[in-house]
Amino acid sequence: MNLTEQLQADMKDAMRNGDAFRRDTLRMVLAAVQNAEKDKRSPLTEDEAQAVLTRQVKTRRESVKAFEDAGREDLAAKERAEIEVLAPYLPEQLDESAVQALVREAITSTGASSPRDMGRVMGALMPRVKGRADGAVVRRLVNEELAKSVPAE
């Protein structure tokens, strides 16, 4: 069963169980997948559907931060609850130490030696961590690792 079919089946289960919050959250994600299919004018691949789901979760994480900054804890809590509903559908997330190891490996394989080589390192690294690590965290770790390789003046 692919991701879209799983989301649809789980939405139907939520409807049967009277879980309106879960139903509505899954319905929003399915609508985003359908919109992406309309934009593409063909069915999404499994990776493309996963990317849509990942974007939905990322948007909610950004919303949590914005709501907390605005003092709207009620809305932040709602977004957190939606993330909890969607989290089981995401690929297993890499912890920071695993990303750090992949960063070092990418730096070695690309021969990067300074922060100017960040684009090369990110280009080699992102396909390996796609959907399993936040791009901002990856970028920060690459930056830190490349900064270590530059001698202090």
What mean pLDDT is reported for the chain? 89
* One fold for 3-89 and 96-149: no
Strand ranges, E, within the chain: none
Domain range list for the chain: 3-89, 96-149
List per-residue pLDDT tens for the chain, 153 residues long: 888 999 999 999 999 999 999 999 999 999 999 999 999 999 988 888 988 998 999 899 999 999 999 999 999 999 999 999 999 998 888 888 888 888 888 888 888 888 888 888 888 888 888 878 878 888 888 888 888 765 555
CB contact at 8 A, 103 and 138? yes
Domain 3-89 has CATH 3.40.1280.10: no
Q: Report the CATH number of the 96-149 domain.
A: 1.10.10.410
Contacts of 73 (CB under 8 A, 6+ apart): 67
Task: Give residue-wise pLDDT tens across range 37-67.
Answer: 999 999 988 888 988 998 999 899 999 999 9
Q: Long-range contacts for 39-42 (Cβ within 8 Å, ≥24 apart)?
A: none
Contacts of 61 (CB under 8 A, 6+ apart): 79, 83
DSSP alpha helix (H) spans, the chain: 3-17, 20-40, 46-69, 73-86, 96-110, 118-129, 135-149
